[in-house]
Structure 1
Amino acid sequence: MNNERKTASETIYQGLKRDIIHGFYPCGEKIKLEEVKDRYNVSYSPIREALSRLAESRLLTNSGQKGFRVSDMSQKDFEDITETRIKLECIALDVSLKNGDAEWESNMVGAYHKLSLQEKLIHEKKEVNTENIERLDDAHEAFHQALLAGSNSPWLLFFVKSLNAQFDRYRRYSTTFQFSQSVSVEYHRKLKDLALERDIPQALKLLEEHIRYSAEAIIK
């Protein structure tokens, strides 16, 4: 794959991934290659590569001759995503806290700092707008990735990231999703502190509690 095609494929992948997670494409809708081609002004080759990647993470389903469609959603599916996410993230966190070095600590603390600044901007200064919410979501994802990065397992982190994308899709579809922002902020602060202390049992317990708290709010 040449660099130009690789860049085009990544751009399409990220754009469609965000659109699917945000609900711009409803469940079951077919992704029309012609529309994507016109939108990104590219050939079909990088489009198919991007769609295949999205199918690998199960945001799309590949129906062969019928093409790619947005995956269906159900409470049973979400519960499975939640339980699997908890198992894999706890495995990754366990290894990360055992093996993470000084550079990992620095990156994790830096990611937490960016997240806490964005949380204050929205929750304390009340500067709520689409751009700031997107930045908060990005900072939240970056913190969790940094927390687990010490595991040094690309495959484990790949599956965790895929599950997080699925989890986020359900969160955004849940129009009544609400939870205490102060509780969310406290979870992140405690996770950071427990990670620095290398308190594995308490960190694992808190991470599971954090994920279940969000999942219950989505289901409700």
Structure 2
Amino acid sequence: MEPKREFFPKVKKTVMPRPYFATEKDILGQRGSAAAVDAAIYGSNWYLDKEQGLIEIYDAGAAISFFNLLPRKDKYEKEGLYLRLKIAYRTTENANVNLRNFSGNHVTLPNSVTGAMYDDPQTYWWVTDDLTLNINSIFSGEKLWIQRVDWEWMSKEIIYEDEIFGKNTILYRSLEEIQKLYSDKELTEDDVKEFLRDKIKNDDWFAKKCLVMIREEQLMEEKLVKLFEDSGLEL
């Protein structure tokens, strides 16, 4: 059906805030804390209590971004380190707060009137790009207070819980060992050969082209008509 068009002599313009592009900060240190009152807060149903250093949240909808307060998640990826994140919070008695945490999972925080730390072990596998907490739901009349986020760089080398008493839980590293990871390496013939091996393993089209090159002399011995017929081309 052909749509029936109408003419609107006056149309409202869309009003929105001017975009603000924050510069990403380089957060230094092996561990540290990011205060919730310094985070960027979006949405509704929240109150900033600067005197106590808390964000008070009720109902749902608030998004709390720690993007410029926490280190870049992939900063030490080459060294096998990941960003372990913990949230210091407090709730009313029956808040049953459900949120999307820094690992992108939706979890319900244990209620804690006196305060607690939520340790997110799933950041071992993934940390969200936006470094934002999204409050999905809070029971009616209940509240959540967030004080800070503690962060620490930890090794991806694993020790299982039943091995704690038999193995060292600390990984000792040397400066020379780490510097080698970032130093420019001289390209060798072996490096090039290894690159080509990996390319053949992972790229079927490239592997076929290599095979054609290997068979080039054999194919040149074939008659022109046979080569044409095998190619599938038509006159």
- Give me the TM-score of the superposition, normalised by structure 2: 0.18
More helix by share: 1
Higher relative contact order structure (alpha carbons within 8 Å, sequence separation ≥ 6): 1
Structure 1 or 2, whichever has the larger Rg, is 2
- Give me the TM-score of the superposition, normalised by structure 1: 0.19
More strand by share: 2
